[in-house]
């Protein structure tokens, strides 16, 4: 199923709580990405990481944090500072090699904050 | 940064007709243009892509064309079938920037049987 997994599929939290979304890949890909998807707005990049222990902010990083301690894992924390956290979150990975540009997506986590 | 615009936002066609979705981009250095299909509640999946050294690419009923001068690229689906109904996203990317993708806002395609 693509070798990239996200958990849980659905997540419910109260406002003011931090929540961490999991993303794991067994594709041996160097690069990993987090996107947020809202209706009518396409996919917007939150953070990305090209190698272990390194990551960069995307277009909408405010209120989010990430870590990349292992090549296989790229968890995303949605903090209480994120003003509108309810959304569908997609993780992706890419080997970034000269012969491959494709990003492979996980199944997504739908986060609802009330 | 890069800005990708996608049109139309919704598209309805009769089964068997063709569908065309168009995207424009702003960064002339972008050199990779994938198209993703996303069915309801599922992950986006790559259906076709094109690199800047190619003007057209075809895979069975799906084709993509690229006009670098005008900075636009299009997805063409021929002989549409109900299972083609989904949201389609275009994207643009430039090597050397972490393979960061800039996505269009999506086109919801409905194929009417």
Mean pLDDT by 10 residues, chain A (114 residues): 85 93 94 91 91 92 97 96 93 75 90 94
Regarding predicted confidence, which is higher, B11 or A103?
B11
The phi-psi region of residue B79 (left if phi > 0; otherwise alpha if psi is between -120 and 50; otherwise beta) is left
Confidence of residue B1 (pLDDT cuts 50, 70, 90): confident
Is residue B89 within 8 Å of residue B106, measured between CB atoms?
yes
pLDDT of residue A62: 96
Average confidence score pLDDT of chain B: 93
DSSP bridge pairs for B10: B108
Residue B98 has pLDDT above 90, yes or no: no
Cβ neighbors of B39 (< 8 A, separation 6 or more) are: B86, B87
Shortest distance between the Cα of B18 and any Cα of chain A, in A, equals 23
Q: What angle do CA B64, B66, A37 make, to 5 degrees?
A: 70
B82 three-class SS: helix
Handedness of CA A51, A106, A77, A47 (dihedral sign): positive
Radius of gyration over alpha carbons of chain B, in Å?
14
How far apart, in whole angstroms, are the C-alpha atoms of residue A6 and residue A1? Answer: 12
- What average pLDDT score do residues B6-34 get? 96
Element (H, E) at A109: strand A109-113
Closest residue in A to B8 (Cα–Cα) = A40
Closest residue in B to A101 (Cα–Cα) = B99
Interface size A-B, in CB pairs within 8 Å, comes to 58
CB–CB contact B106 A44 (8 Å): no
């Amino acid at each position: 199923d693509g070798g990239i997994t996200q958990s849980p599929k659905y997540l419910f939290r109260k406002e003011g709580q931090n929540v961490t979304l999991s993303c794991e890949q067994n594709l041996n890909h160097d690069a990993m990405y987090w996107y947020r998807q809202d209706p009518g707005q396409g996919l917007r990049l939150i953070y990305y990481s090209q190698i272990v222990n390194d990551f960069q902010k995307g277009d909408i990083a405010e209120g989010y944090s990430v870590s990349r301690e292992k090549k296989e894992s790229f968890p995303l924390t949605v903090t209480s500072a994120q003003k509108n956290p309810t959304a569908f979150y997609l993780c992706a990975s890419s080997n970034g090699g000269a012969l491959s540009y494709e990003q492979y997506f996980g199944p997504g986590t739908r986060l609802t904050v009330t | 940064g890069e800005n990708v615009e996608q049109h139309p936002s919704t598209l309805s066609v009769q089964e068997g007709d063709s569908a065309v979705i168009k995207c424009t981009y702003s960064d002339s250095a972008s050199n990779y243009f994938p198209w993703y299909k996303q069915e309801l509640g599922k992950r986006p999946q790559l259906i076709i892509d094109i690199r800047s050294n190619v003007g057209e690419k075809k895979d069975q009923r799906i084709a993509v064309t690229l006009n670098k001068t005008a900075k636009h690229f299009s997805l063409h689906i021929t002989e549409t079938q109900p299972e083609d109904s989904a949201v389609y996203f275009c994207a643009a990317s430039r090597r050397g920037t972490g393979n960061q993708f800039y996505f269009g806002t999506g086109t919801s395609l409905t194929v009417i049987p």
